[in-house]
Structure 1
Amino acid sequence: MPKHYPVGIFDSGIGGLTVAAAIRRAMPAEKLLYLADLARQPYGPKSPRTVTRYAVQAAEFLVGRGVKALVVACNTASAVALEAIAERFPELPLLGVVEAGAAGAVAASASGRIVVAATEGTCRSQAYERAIARRRGGCRVTCVPCPLFVSLAEEGLTDGAIVESVARHYLAPLFDRLGGDDCLVLGCTHFPLLAPALARLAGPGVRLVDCAEATSTMLAETLRGLEAPVGGAGGLSLIATDAPERFARIARRLFPSLDEIGTVELADL
């Protein structure tokens, strides 16, 4: 693939912009092409068959635009559809946030007792349990579905009493006990937006693993030999399958560091 081609990124909504922001910080010369499948979000409660179909369609759209690598910035799609995308595009460098998050968890946890906050679909797939076990045997992984976190992030509610109440509802039974859990994986790309509230709930002895940062690190390794020329301007182009104006408005509020957010293109898959 030509080095000047962009990196394709897709998610069901705005959460994957945490990945885009991490990549922009680490590799500012890279051009990024981001697709938000707002018309069909959320992916989390949907069946693996449906998510796989949506994910392959998103990948086909981005490959049709011309990308040199593809990042599946949706934990649910990464958990169930990565193999199908790889089969569809065997020559395309491909990575998903689940593998990156699992690698980050193994590095962060001293005790091997890991909590993963994720969507229903990701927990149902047991993808984190398998990915962590491949890297380190004997870990105890507890995956907790936290579906309301996605809605909170999409509405711009990232901290405060409502977020803390929902977080306690899902996670307090784990962190109020003396179970030795020392790592909390933010297993959905929306969840880093709630990180301050989640860190307070988990406590100072628990390390948070941001899958967006872990994915950025893994992408840098994947792009060796395909890096954009040093000094390149980079940039971020956004596409949505529904409500582009609302998407742009929320993105500007939640990601002020991404000052490239302008007009969002509307597209059908």
Structure 2
Amino acid sequence: MSGGVAFFDSGMGGLSVLKHFLELFPGTSVTYLGDTARFPYGTKSRETIVRFAREDARFLAEMNPDLIIAACFTVSSQAFDEFSEEVNPIPTLGVLEAGARAAAGLTRSGSIGVLATEGTISSNAYPRLFSRMNPAIGVFAQPCPLFAPLVEEGWISGPVAEAVSMEYLSPYLTKWKSVDTIILGCTHYPPLLPVFQKILPDVRFVDPGYELAREILSRNLVKNHPEALPTTRFFVTDGVERFLRIGQNLLKRPMGNVTLVDPVFEKLAEHGERG
């Protein structure tokens, strides 16, 4: 690959960002790296997250894309500078700011909720962002460590997803009732949105992946390569068959071949779709 856009995440969650991107840029070549062997990033130390982010970045930079997107809130909130430094001068984007801008524009109460991993919440990335955008905005963040594993297992509906969601969203029904807008602060969470909306029907939910894709379009950040046929490539560090099975459901389109690489990103094998 030369040109196009590259995405990476700790697992399948970043596919929610890729899905919105492909809807707006169907003719653009894309590469996706899911570091499934080391999932989840959200419970790791910052030092470990930085190391993983640098390794992900180096792997993708070798493909010479026009743009690299950290489709991972943990990296975007805790290791974005190091990741960007690793691939300089290739432009980079994270997933924090687009969603924050959208939420700031939607809220009427000035109270914004954030559903995220413990790592993203402990980084205080969202309170810092909103303090610059509008210091009057209050941030009410809820750690949701079980949401990402649910999505990785394909449990995005049914009684288990509903029970876990009720547990995590209950503060917004009680002590945080002023919250009228909630950011899905992990790329794994959008597939659970119908469950969230059932529990909190009067709350606006912000999908930062969707907002990011819109900003990329409005800012004209994707280069046009009319001479090249668009390609879509997927790399994972573990669990190819499961990635294909669950990933295609999340992406809502066939994925074709998925290439297995080890965590230091040496190519091991290529696998096609399983029937």
Structure-2-length-normalised TM-score = 0.90
Q: 1:26 aligns with which of 24, 27, 31?
A: 24
Deviation at 1:231, TM superposition (A): 10
Unaligned runs of 5+ in 2: 265-275
Match of 1:14 in 2: 12
Distance 1:173 1:7, change over 3 A: same
Kindly provide the amino acid, as one letter, of the partner of residue 258 in structure 2: V
Map of 1:165-204 to 2, 5 A cutoff? 165-177=163-175, 179-204=177-202
3-state SS of 1:44 partner: coil
- Mapped pair 1:213 → 2:210: yes
Shift of residue 87, structure 1, vs aligned partner:
2.3
- Does the aligned pair in 1 maintain the 2:16–2:250 contact within 8 Å? no
Q: By percentage of residues, which structure has more helix?
A: 1
What is the distance in 2 between the residues matched to 1:108 and 1:32?
A: 31
Counterparts of residues 15-94 of structure 1 (less than 5 Å): 15-94=13-92
Deviation at 1:149, TM superposition (A): 0.4
Offset of residue 223 of structure 1: 4.3
Residue 212 of structure 1 deviates from its aligned partner by 1.1
Contact 2:9/2:70 (8 A) holds in 1? yes
State the Cα distance separating 1:134 from its structure 2 match.
1.8
Structure 1: segments with no counterpart, 5+ residues: none
Structure 1 CA distance for aligned equivalents of residues 57 and 260 of structure 2: 16
Residue of structure 1 in register with 2:251 after alignment? 255
CA distance in 2, matches of 1:222, 1:82: 20
Are the aligned partners of 2:57 and 2:86 in contact in 1 as well (CA < 8 Å)? no
Q: Secondary structure at the match of 1:102?
A: helix
The Cα of 1:219 is off from its aligned counterpart by: 2.4
Query: Aligned partners of 1:106 and 1:141: how far apart in 2?
Result: 11
Measured at CA, do residues 6 and 140 of structure 1 come closer, stay the same or move farther in structure 2, by a change above 3 Å? same
Give the whole-Å Cα distance in 2 for the aligned partners of 1:180 and 1:151.
29
Q: Indicate if the aligned counterparts of 1:12 and 1:74 stay in contact, CA closer than 8 A.
A: yes
Shift in Å, 1:10: 0.1
- Distance in structure 1 (CA, Å) of the matches to 2:37 and 2:219: 30
Q: Which amino acid aligns with 1:81?
A: A
Query: In terms of mean alpha carbon deviation, does 171-180 or 93-102 score higher?
Result: 171-180
- The match for 2:237 among 236, 241, 256 is 241
Residue number in structure 1 paired with 2:95: 97
SS at match of 1:65: coil
Question: Shift of residue 159 of structure 1?
Answer: 1.4
CA contact (8 A) 2:15 2:250 kept: no
Partner of 1:107: 105
Q: How far apart are the structure 1 equivalents of 2:23 and 2:35?
A: 24
1:28–1:233: 8 Å Cα contact kept in structure 2? no
What's the offset of the Cα at 1:117?
0.2
What SS does structure 2 have at the residue aligned with 1:13?
A: coil
> Aligned pair in 2 of structure 1 residues 231, 21: CA closer, same or farther (>3 Å)?
farther
Three-state SS of the structure 2 residue aligned to 1:147 is coil
TM alignment of 1:133-152, pairs within 5 A: 133-152=131-150
- Percent identity over paired residues: 37
The alignment of Structure 1 onto Structure 2 pairs a total of residues equal to: 263
Separation in 1, partners of 2:220, 2:239: 32
Deviation at 1:194, TM superposition (A): 0.1
